[in-house]
Structure 1
Amino acid sequence: MTASTLEKAAANQAATVEFRDLRREFGPTVALDGLGLTVRPGEFLALLGPSGCGKTTALRMLAGFEHPDSGAVLVDGQDVTRVPAHRRDAGMVFQSYSLFPHLSALDNVAFGLRMRKVRTFERRARAAELLELVGLADKGERFPHQLSGGQQQRIALARALALRPRVLLLDEPLSALDAKVRLSLREEIRRLQQELGITTLFVTHDQEEALSVSDRVAVMRSGRLEQCAEPAELYGRPATPFVAEFVGTMSRIPGTLRGTDVEVLGQRLPVDGPLPADGATDVDVLVRPEAVRVTADAGGTARIVATAFLGAVVRVSVRLADGTEVKADLPTHEAAGLGTGAPVGVSLPERAVLVAGRKAD
C-alpha cells in the first residue's frame, strides 16, 4: 500500500463525532457539565480553554479512557460510550511521546499492527510507508534516544496512524517542544491531516496554535462549551465576554449603556451581542488592539505608558484620564515619535462593539 493509498483509505473512513450532553464529576469537581458538540467528517477541530476546563476529559472520553456519568459519545451515529478503548478505532498522540525505548522507530510505528497479528512483511511495509509520510524514512532503524523531540513526536504520530483510525486524537502533542520545533511540527500535522482527510480533535491551551491550524475551534470553560466557530469568526465575533478575552488580546474601556448603544470615549456606538443580564448601565466595552486609534494630541489627557516593537506593528499601552489602560497596535511608521509619556487622543472605529458587565477594581 503506497502513501497515496493510505491517504485515500483514511479519507474514506472520516467519521462524524458527537458529544451528547456529557457530564463527568471527580468528587466535588465538575469536569464536564452537559457538553454538547459535533465534529464533522474530516474536520480538524481544536478544543481550547484554560486548565481544568474539561477539554482533555472530553478527549479521553472519545478515546475510551474515561466514561461519563451521563450523556453519550457517538461516532457516525453509533453510541460508543461503553465500548472499550481498544475497539474505538481511534488513534491518540499524547503530550509525552510514550515510545518504547527498546524498539526502533520502525518497530514503534508497527507495534499496534503486531498486537493485531498483522503479518510481519505487511506491518513493516506499512510502518515504512508511514515513516515516509512523516518525513522520517531514513530514521527507521534508530532508537528513541537517538532522535530529537520533534522526530519522536512524528514517530508517535505515525504510530497512531498505522492502524488507520477513523478519528485522530491529539492531546497537547506540542507542549514539550521548543518554539521553533512547535511551529514546524504543527504545520506538518495540519498538512498530514489535510492529506489524509481524517477527523481530528486537537486539545491545546495555546490560542495561537488553535487558531492557526484548525477548521473550527471549540472554546470551553468550566466543563461547558462557550463557542464553536471558525478561527476568524471566533476572533472577530466572539459570542461571550469570556471568549473575547481568552482568544487574543482585549482591553476593557468603561462605558455607559444608552438603550442598545453605548457611550465610550466621547462616542456613541451600537452594541454587538447580548447586553448584561443584570440590566446595569455601567459596562465595559471590549476592544482589540488593532481597533484602537491613537493619534498625537498635545492637548490629550491620555498618556503612552509603554511601547513594544512587534515588527510590522508597535503595541502601545495608553493610560486614559481615569486610569484605565488600553492597548493599541499601530503601524510602525505611525508610532514614530509616540514615545513613553507622549499625550495622545484615543478613539474607536464607528462600528458595533461587544460589552460586558463592569469589572470590579
Structure 2
Amino acid sequence: MTVELRELRRSFGGTVALDGLSLTIEQGELIAFLGPSGCGKTTALRCVAGFERPDTGAVFIDGADVTRVPANRRDAGMVFQSYSLFPNLNVRDNVAFGLRVRRRPTSERHSRAAELLELVGLGGFGERYPHQLSGGQQQRVALARALALQPKVLLLDEPLSALDAKVRVNLREEIRRLQLELGITTIFVTHDQEEALSVADRVAVLKSGRLEQVAPPAEVYDRPATPFVAEFVGTMNHLPGRVSGETVEVFGHFLPLDGAAPGEEVDVLVRPEAVRVSPSEEGRGFILASSFRGSIARLRVQLDSGGEVLADVPGHEAVRLAPGLKVDVTLVERPVLTAPRTAVAAPVEPVA
C-alpha cells in the first residue's frame, strides 16, 4: 500500500522535530529514512505508526487519512531497536501474540507462527525462549511477529543498531530478501549510511525535520542535492577552490560546477575515489598514512599548501605509495559541488 506524508509538523516544547515533511512511499517500496540524531526520522516513523500525532499535516495509508486513527487500527507492523520480546513467552507464542489478541484459533496461531519462523530462518526454534537466542535471532523473531498479522506497511526503527557488524550485514540482507518476497511497503529508519544505501529502493535524507533529498541510493551518493547530503553520505574532502564562471579552479585545474556556487572563494567537495595520487618529487604533498581496506587502500595526504586530502586507490597500488612518499594530487574530471569556505579545509568523515 502507498504511504503519504503531507506537510507533517511536530514539535516537542521548543524543539521542532518535523518541519513540513512531505513524502510519498510507493506500493512495495523500501525507503530508508537517513539522517543524524535529532533529524526527525524516528518521529516521522512514529507518526506513520500512530504512536505520535503530528501538530499539523496528515498521514495517508492506501489513500485513507489515518492521522487520527489509533495505532492498533492502522494495519502496520513495527520492529523496534530493542526487540521488545515477551521474556515469559516462547518464540512461537511471541510471534503469534497479535493473533492471540485478535482471538484467532490456536491451530491458526501455531501454523502461522511456524510459517513465519521458517520464513525468517528459525524453523524449529518455536519452543525456545528469548534468553536462549542471540541478538540477531531475537530480532528475527521480532520481525516475524511484526509480519504475523499481514500488515499493509512494515516499519523498522533502527532494527539492527544493537547487533554486531557481521550479524547486521547478514540480517539487513535477510530483511531485504523478505521485503522483496512479500512485496510489502517498508520504511526503514537508520543513521547508518551504508545500511541505507545497501537495502533501500530510495533514500530520504533528513536534516532538522526537513527533507534534503529523496532518490535512489546511487543518485544520493553520486549526485547529492545539497552540501549537507554530500557530507553526510560517504566520506568527503573539502578542497579550497576559486569559482570562475561555470567552473571552479582547484589544484590548478578547472572543473565544471554541479549547481550554483555560494561565492567566489569556496570549498570544493570531492570524494576520495575521485582523487588521484601519483609519486612525484615535484608533487604538492606527501603521504601521511595508508589504511588497507581490502580492495582499496585509503591514503591521507598532507598538502604543502596546508590541510589534508583523502584518496582511495586500488589495494595493489598501495605498496608503492608508502607513508612519507612525495606525491602529486589530481582530481577526476567531473562536475563538483561547492560549499562556503571553511576556516580549515579538512576531510569530512562519514557519520556511523
User: Cα offset for 1:332?
Assistant: 2.1
In the alignment, what sits opposite 2:151? 165
Mapping of residues 84-233 of structure 1, within 5 Å = 84-233=70-219
1:97-148 deviation digits (Å, cap 9, x = unpaired)? 1111111100001100011111111111111111111111100011111111
Matched, 1:21 2:4: no
User: Cα offset for 1:21?
Assistant: 0.6
User: Cα offset for 1:42?
Assistant: 0.3
In the alignment, what sits opposite 2:331? 348
In the alignment, what sits opposite 1:5? none
User: Cα offset for 1:337?
Assistant: 2.3
Mapping of residues 15-94 of structure 1, within 5 Å = 15-94=1-80
Return the letter of the residue paired with 2:105.
Answer: R
User: Cα offset for 1:301?
Assistant: 2.8
3-state SS in 2 of match to 1:319: strand
3-state SS in 1 of match to 2:339: strand
Return the letter of the residue paired with 1:87.
Answer: R
May I ask how many residue pairs the two structures share in their alignment? 344
User: Cα offset for 1:313?
Assistant: 1.1
In the alignment, what sits opposite 2:275? 292
Matched, 1:238 2:221: no
Matched, 1:267 2:250: no
User: Cα offset for 1:349?
Assistant: 1.7
Q: 5+ residue gaps in structure 2?
A: 345-352
User: Cα offset for 1:333?
Assistant: 2.6
Return the letter of the residue paired with 2:326.
Answer: P
Q: Give the structure-2-normalised TM-score.
A: 0.96
- Write the distance in 1 (CA, Å) between the matches of 2:318 and 2:121: 44
3-state SS in 2 of match to 1:138: coil
Matched, 1:329 2:315: no
User: Cα offset for 1:275?
Assistant: 2.2
3-state SS in 1 of match to 2:124: helix
User: Cα offset for 1:274?
Assistant: 2.9
Return the letter of the residue paired with 1:32.
Answer: L
1:266-310 deviation digits (Å, cap 9, x = unpaired)? 00111012321xxx2000110111100111001113111111011
Matched, 1:338 2:321: yes
- Write the distance in 2 (CA, Å) between the matches of 1:274 and 1:197: 40
Q: 5+ residue gaps in structure 1?
A: 1-14
Q: Assess if the C-alpha contact under 8 Å between 2:130 and 2:138 holds in 1.
A: yes
In the alignment, what sits opposite 1:10? none
Return the letter of the residue paired with 2:132.
Answer: Q
User: Cα offset for 1:264?
Assistant: 0.5
Q: What percent of counterpart residues are identical?
A: 70
Return the letter of the residue paired with 1:105.
Answer: V
- Write the distance in 1 (CA, Å) between the matches of 2:70 and 2:103: 19
Return the letter of the residue paired with 1:350.
Answer: E
Q: Assess if the C-alpha contact under 8 Å between 2:96 and 2:145 holds in 1.
A: yes
User: Cα offset for 1:312?
Assistant: 1.2
In the alignment, what sits opposite 1:309? 292
3-state SS in 2 of match to 1:227: strand
- Write the distance in 2 (CA, Å) between the matches of 1:191 and 1:226: 28
1:321-356 deviation digits (Å, cap 9, x = unpaired)? 221211000112322222212111111122211111
- Write the distance in 2 (CA, Å) between the matches of 1:90 and 1:42: 14
- Write the distance in 1 (CA, Å) between the matches of 2:315 and 2:54: 51
Return the letter of the residue paired with 2:343.
Answer: A
1:48-78 deviation digits (Å, cap 9, x = unpaired)? 0000000000000000000001111111221
- Write the distance in 2 (CA, Å) between the matches of 1:332 and 1:112: 51
CA RMSD for the aligned pairs? 0.9
Q: Assess if the C-alpha contact under 8 Å between 2:284 and 2:329 holds in 1.
A: no
- Write the distance in 2 (CA, Å) between the matches of 1:320 and 1:188: 44
Q: Give the structure-1-normalised TM-score.
A: 0.94
3-state SS in 1 of match to 2:146: helix
- Write the distance in 2 (CA, Å) between the matches of 1:274 and 1:257: 10
3-state SS in 1 of match to 2:322: coil
- Write the distance in 1 (CA, Å) between the matches of 2:122 and 2:319: 48
3-state SS in 1 of match to 2:320: coil
- Write the distance in 2 (CA, Å) between the matches of 1:45 and 1:267: 38
